Structure 1
């Protein structure tokens, strides 16, 4: 009688935790959570006279990437955010939590993957 109860309890426990058992034994792969910046907000800190800022704007437009721009010479909010990011040059971009300094098309593409 004791063996039957043990087997019954073991079967019940297995049934209640079947998804964990499948994942642990490799019968079912664990769900992958992709950390992607594809939908992350893109913010450009720039000036009107900067040539590399213009190249960055052109690149973003060519790629169809939506972004918010702050002119750090005209926007006090933009300047504060730029300074908080340790801004020491332009253009400076944020894509989600990723900071990209200078004109860097490959860095932008990589950050959006």
Structure 2
């Protein structure tokens, strides 16, 4: 019995690259359906009642003087639908116009609010 070294065929490498690229591509979100679900408010917080980070994000918005809508992903049908459309894997999810922030990230949220002109001048200091 002879031992031949294992060889990789070029087509198998190409196939693996295509598969990885397909998996790495961000999921497309139906923006019209998302906006129809969450409404026209530019800032939306998708949350859950038990979520500590959601409570912190809610408090940040209030402290900054930012108007926002909040949808509970477990008890509000619109929140559940938005969460499904976004293929959510956790909360909080913050929507700032067409931008989405998954998780609690106050510096990034503040940055997007400021860029969008949604952060009151008193909070931007």
The TM-score range, normalised by the shorter chain, is 0.5 to 0.7
How far apart in 2 are the matches of 1:71 and 1:102? Answer: 15
Unaligned runs of 5+ in 1: 1-39
TM-score of the two chains, using structure 1 as the length reference: 0.63
Please state how far the C-alpha of 1:72 moved relative to its aligned partner. Answer: 0.8
Paired position in structure 2 for 1:8? none
Greater Rg by CA: 1
Q: CA RMSD in A?
A: 1.1
How far apart in 2 are the matches of 1:75 and 1:47? Answer: 10
Matched residue count: 74
Paired position in structure 2 for 1:103? 104
How far apart in 2 are the matches of 1:110 and 1:85? Answer: 21
Unaligned runs of 5+ in 2: 1-40, 116-125
How far apart in 2 are the matches of 1:85 and 1:111? Answer: 19
Please state how far the C-alpha of 1:50 moved relative to its aligned partner. Answer: 0.5
Q: For 2:100, what is the secondary structure of its paired residue?
A: strand
Paired position in structure 1 for 2:92? 91
State yes or no: 1:54 paired with 2:69: no
State yes or no: 1:44 paired with 2:54: no
Q: For 1:74, what is the secondary structure of its paired residue?
A: coil
Give the 4+ runs in structure 1 shifted more than 2 A: none
Q: For 2:66, what is the secondary structure of its paired residue?
A: coil
TM-score of the two chains, using structure 2 as the length reference: 0.57
Q: For 1:73, what is the secondary structure of its paired residue?
A: coil
